[in-house]
Structure 1
Amino acid sequence: MPHDHHSHAHHHHHHIDPDAGDARVAIAIAVNLFLTLAQIVGGVVSGSMALIADAIHNLSDAISLVIAFGARKIARRPRDGAMTFGYGRAEVVAAMVNYTTLVVISVYLFAEGVSRLFNPPEIAGWTVVIIAGIALIVDLVTAALTWALSKDSLNIRAAFLHNLADAATSVAVIVGGVVILLWDWRLIDPILTILISLYILWHALSEVRPVIRILMLGAPDGTRAGEVANAMAGVAGGEDVHHVHLWQIDEHRTSVEAHVVIAGEPSDVLGNVKLLLRERFGIAHSTLEVEAPGAGCAGEAPGFQPLA
């Protein structure tokens, strides 16, 4: 039985072929690494901690993109004896890693901002503002390179948010620097830092939920096992459906397994059940165990009834 007829069930909106996508991510990595170097040099020359901090952010961007890039490559490997579901979840794992580091970064930024409230920073002239401006442009370029991909991939989305967070920090450095240079109001920098850290934290926590859901073998968002079970039980000839498990193999593929009690001719009923799963729920990967009425575990395992 061919095993990839189901892998394209949900790819309605793929405009970018995988290799072009990889190339974009690779360019984004190169741009970020180049910028990191430039900023470290600038930071050392101007004695600005802000710049060196920004360089470290860009390095973290590059690293998050490297992780995303690697996961994309791994996810496309064909399934084998060791990974019978294929490698698609590599992207989910990478997204989890990237969101976790984003949460850590935002907590760190928050702490940094609070400590600076009590000890406002000295800012060294316009250099910092100008270089942060360049950083912002690079972040926007990276975001532009990965934006189209991020709509279709949890993995790239996590890296994309790293970049957005970074662009926001660059904006803070620019605004803070200008305000300090013009009006010498030193508190602007820590205030902006705190606001941005909260913003990043909020984003990361809301985006990580679907990732955790997949890793926890949860049902796809908006679909409940009870619904699917009732629909399956409604197929003519099917008497009862129990022991229903519904989970996402990866972002684009959902799998269901169930015990189906069948009175009629099994092949017809199973064909109809599979058709229903595919058409109504978009589930093309199903494993069904057939039981005759009164046989098997029917009626003896109420604990397995699907939760509606």
Structure 2
Amino acid sequence: MGHGHHHHVDPEAGDRRVFAAIAVNMGLTVAQVIGGIMSGSLALIADALHNFSDAISLIIAFGARKIARRPRDAEMTFGYGRVEVVAALINYTTLIVIGLYLLYEAAMRFADPQDVEGWIIVVIAGIALAVDVVTAMLTYTMSKSSVNIRAAFLHNVADALGSVAVIFAGALILLYDWRLIDPIVTALIAGYILWQSFREIGPVIRILMLGSPPEIETEAVLHTVRGIDGVTGIHHAHFWQMDEHRAALDAHIVIAEGRWNDADAVKDRIKAALSDQFGIEHTTLELECARHACDDKSEFGGRGHGEEQHG
């Protein structure tokens, strides 16, 4: 099984990029809010609100990057890497709330269209688009290797598309005085935000729920382990992700009868196979001799892991 290559950016250089992105987004948010109030455009204010969420998402991402680099300690024996996953969950949840709010506001504007100044919309949205492109460029490389930064990056991509839509709306208002385009564009921005967020939040929740890594075929792993010389069975397997990039497995391994003296060598072969073929570097293997293997042969999980024992 092949494994993706992660693109790493120097942490300090990455921090500077994120900080720069925060600064330009905060400045843009202020400009958009002022422009939205002056023009009366809900779409521009919607874009400003989304842009403000970009800045907040970048602040969260920035803090998470700092925390994630802390060394392991007695309280966090796995380290702090998963804080970036938590940050991504916060960012996507925020996007969903914003999307729902914008849908509500768009519905209100459909019922009561407002006068809108097209030129202000076009100018401010044009500036916003330029800033969104710059921000996306600052975070693009880092987004390839971090679910946390990817969440912030997608905030910006959505906002850039929103700015394009707002420019389009402003042009239609200037040309045809079509005021309903403002809530229509707002609803489209909201719909895209919601679609994007619900699509991306699933893998984040999967990590936090200790789901098995989606790129690893668990049955193939079990089949490979069973085929290793000296192994007669594997059960109570738990596949999970320590963070976005590190898969883990703990399992019970049944050593063939008469091979107990080779148990350590068998374990080493299992670990090597898991690492080489599936990229699973973190493994905890409980060895059992065939004669005294535990009664519960459940392939996945096992009693004591949320299952009720009957009988």
Pair in the same fold by TM > 0.5? yes
- 2:273 is the alignment partner of 1:258: no
**After superposition, where does 1:1-308 map in structure 2 within 5 Å?**
12-43=5-36, 51-263=44-256, 264=259, 265-297=262-294, 300-302=295-297, 304-306=298-300
What value does the CA root-mean-square deviation take over the aligned residues?
2.0
Aligned mates of 1:196, 1:41 — CA distance in 2 = 20
Contact 1:225 1:306 in 2 (8 A): no
Tell me the distance in 1 between the aligned counterparts of 2:37 and 2:235.
66
Change (3 A) 1:205 1:46: closer
TM-score, with length taken from structure 1 = 0.90
TM-score by length of 2: 0.89
The superposition leaves residues 19-68 of structure 1 with CA deviations (integer Å, 9 ceiling, x where unpaired) of 11111101000111122233344455556665554433322211110001
Deviation at 1:232, TM superposition (A): 0.9
SS at match of 2:253: strand
SS of the aligned residue for 2:292 comes to coil
Cα distance per residue 1:113-165 (max 9 Å; x no partner): 22222222211241222011111111111111111111111101111111122
Equivalence for 1:7: none
The residue type equivalent to 2:128 in the other structure is: A
Shift in Å at residue 14 of structure 1? 2.3
Report if the CA contact (8 A) 1:214-1:247 is conserved.
yes
d(CA) in 2 for partners of 1:97 and 1:201? 14
Q: Following the alignment from structure 1 to structure 2, what is the Cα–Cα distance between the partners of residues 194 and 41?
A: 21
Structure 2: gaps (5+ residues): 302-311
Which amino acid counterpart does residue 201 of structure 2 have in structure 1? Answer: V
What is the CA–CA distance in structure 2 between the aligned matches of 1:185 and 1:53, rounded to whole Å? 18
Separation of aligned partners in 2, 1:170 and 1:180: 15
Tell whether the 8 Å contact from 1:39 to 1:131 is kept in structure 2 after alignment: yes
Task: Name the aligned partner's letter for residue 283 of structure 2.
Answer: S
Q: Look up the equivalent residue of 1:66 and give its one-letter code.
A: I
Pairs aligned (count) = 296
Unmatched tracts of structure 1, length 5 or more: 1-9
1:177 counterpart SS class: helix
Asked if the contact 2:61/2:152 (under 8 Å) is kept, the reply is: yes
Which residue pairs with 2:309 in the alignment? none
Residue of structure 1 equivalent to 2:306: none
Query: Is contact 1:225-1:245 (8 Å) kept?
Result: no
CA distance in 2, matches of 1:184, 1:137: 26
